Amino acid sequence: MKTILPIVAQYFSDVGVKHGILEFIEQQDDSAGGLFANIKYELEPHELELQKLTSLGSDNTNVNVDPKHSVFSLFKELVPLLMNVHFFWKNILVEVQQANILLQKHYATGIHLYGIIKDLLCKLNNRLRDDYFGSKVMGLLGTIQDSNEVDDLKKSFRLFIRTIIAYIEDYFVDRTSFYEFISIFSEVDIQKLEWRNIECCAACIDPKKINKDLLYNQFNHLKSKFIQLKDKFEVIDKQVQEFISSNFHLYKQGEIMSHGEVKLCSDDECDVEAEFGSDDDDNIRHHKNHRKNLHIRCDYLWAYLLHGEQTPDFKKLVQCFFYTSI
């Protein structure tokens, strides 16, 4: 039986991590020697120098990673400093992957960006400070007799993490202040918000569109409403979720909403189906079955607070920043 084997190369370029499929090959011999020979054969026409190979990524089957005889051990004979860093990549990249998953949520906007990036940078800097690359990697490093080789490997790990940090900071630096300002709308404890936070956000948009005095009064009203609801119900997660659940089908069907209801995106600026798609169906079903573990989304909370209120200036501010794409 033939196996299709994809050969993928990954590297960090001037514009971030790049990867591409070099070739799909039909693998008739699934032994370590057969796999090694085919991979090596495919690398050579692309002028990829084996001595510059830093790591080998694969699953954890014996044919790939067994220390005595495997694809990895055969490559290590050619490249002595080569290390199976599967566990290092798993520890580091899982943090990047988690941030990426959050950014790909269909409801994620510029409001969420600052918190997600700040959290990711904090985790990566913590790993650098602690000089920790995962227990299995540290264990493998402990088996290497040559201290210089261990130091070189650690340096390469640190360099990789620093490169990721530098890339993120370089991409993010020009707009950090803006995204920090608008991130206050991701706060679900409205009691923590202060007028100065709202004032900073208002300064980012055309002053002709908002009356600052009215904006203050409306913010004060909504904050007071939140505090009163919280005092009455202790937590308002249940009320918010019930509001979203009861209005879900109206949103999904795109029916015209009454004057007091808020719609966080207009018909021509967003896809209603995308905004209230399968994720929300799952959320609603989940919350109906797990009332004790309710979770509140910031966009749901603002929709709930703005519902039925005559707060046009504050609504404009909320809509403006929830439109902000990532």
| Domain boundaries of the chain, sorted by first residue | 3-78, 86-177, 211-322
Question: Smallest Cα–Cα separation from 166: which of 10, 326, 16, 11?
Answer: 16
- Decide which of 82 and 122 is more confident: 122
Neighbours of 280 (CB within 10 A): 19
Q: What's the DSSP call for residue 105?
A: S
Percent of the chain with pLDDT over 90: 18
pLDDT, one tens digit per residue, over 263-273 is 333 333 333 23
Q: What per-residue confidence (pLDDT) applies to 195?
A: 96
pLDDT higher than threshold 60 for residue 281? no
Among 3-7, 29-33, 192-196, 280-284, the minimum mean pLDDT is found in 280-284
pLDDT, one tens digit per residue, over 90-99 is 666 678 878 8
8 Å CB contact between 245 and 280: no
8 Å CB contact between 323 and 269: yes
- Looking at mean pLDDT, say which of 8-12, 126-130, 153-157, 237-241 comes out highest: 126-130
Q: How far apart are CA 154 and CA 137, in angstroms?
A: 10
Q: 137-143 long-range contacts, Cβ below 8 Å, gap at least 24? A: 137/85, 137/87, 137/88, 137/91, 140/83, 140/84, 140/87
Across 203-211, average pLDDT: 83
- Decide which of 258 and 148 is more confident: 148
pTM score: 0.59
Coil, strand, or helix at residue 19? strand
Among 41-50, 111-120, 218-227, 280-289, the minimum mean pLDDT is found in 280-289
pLDDT band at residue 246 under the 50/70/90 scheme: confident
